[in-house]
Amino acid sequence: MKRADLYLLSTPSMSEQLEFCCRLCEKAVNDFQRIHIQTEQSTQNEALDSLLWTFKAESFLPHEVGQSKQVLAPIIIDTENLQSDYFLDHNLLILLSNRLPDNAEKFDRLCIVVRNHEADIQQARQLYKQLAQQKIDVRIHDRR
């Protein structure tokens, strides 16, 4: 991974975080063969699954929750790390969690979506330091 984008959102709302994630997916689905959305909890998975179906009537974002099938959709939502069998040539990790997955370095690009909540911002600072130590170009997009 050579680049990471850290998005600081304007509210502490999970719904804003999920809507922003949908916009990222819509922009990235043509540029990446696999988009893995790593969540913190299963309630995020369910909410994001529902939102991706209804996000925009004119767009279709093929996705699945979990990794139990042999052939997966281009967008995978899961609390677990992306299994190595499912990596393709160009992979994007959208992180809705406060921790990097063990295999983060395998992704071509990383987007971290951070709610405007003090604990989440503190975790984002730690992630920023961790990525900077690995010499990864981190671009901050402050939407507050």
Average pLDDT over residues 21-43: 95
pLDDT at 112: 97
Average pLDDT over residues 21-28: 95
pLDDT category of residue 78 using cuts at 50, 70 and 90: very high
As a whole-number percent, the residues of the chain with pLDDT over 90 amount to: 85
Give the whole-angstrom CA distance, residue 18 versus residue 3. 22
Average pLDDT over residues 33-57: 92
Query: Torsion over CA of 67, 79, 52 and 142, rounded to 10 degrees?
Result: -140
Q: pTM to 2 decimals?
A: 0.94
- Which of 29, 35, 40 is closest to 93 using CA atoms? 35
Residue 8 has pLDDT above 90, yes or no: yes
Give the whole-angstrom CA distance, residue 111 versus residue 114. 10
Average pLDDT over residues 8-26: 95
pLDDT category of residue 63 using cuts at 50, 70 and 90: very high
What are the residue ranges spanned by the domains of the chain?
A: 3-142
- Which of 101, 33, 39, 102 is closest to 65 using CA atoms? 39
- CATH class assigned to 3-142: alpha beta
Give the whole-angstrom CA distance, residue 13 versus residue 65. 22
pLDDT at 28: 95
pLDDT at 59: 76
Please, what is the average pLDDT of the chain?
A: 93
Q: Which of 20-24, 98-102, 120-124 has the lowest mean pLDDT?
A: 98-102
Average pLDDT over residues 34-39: 97
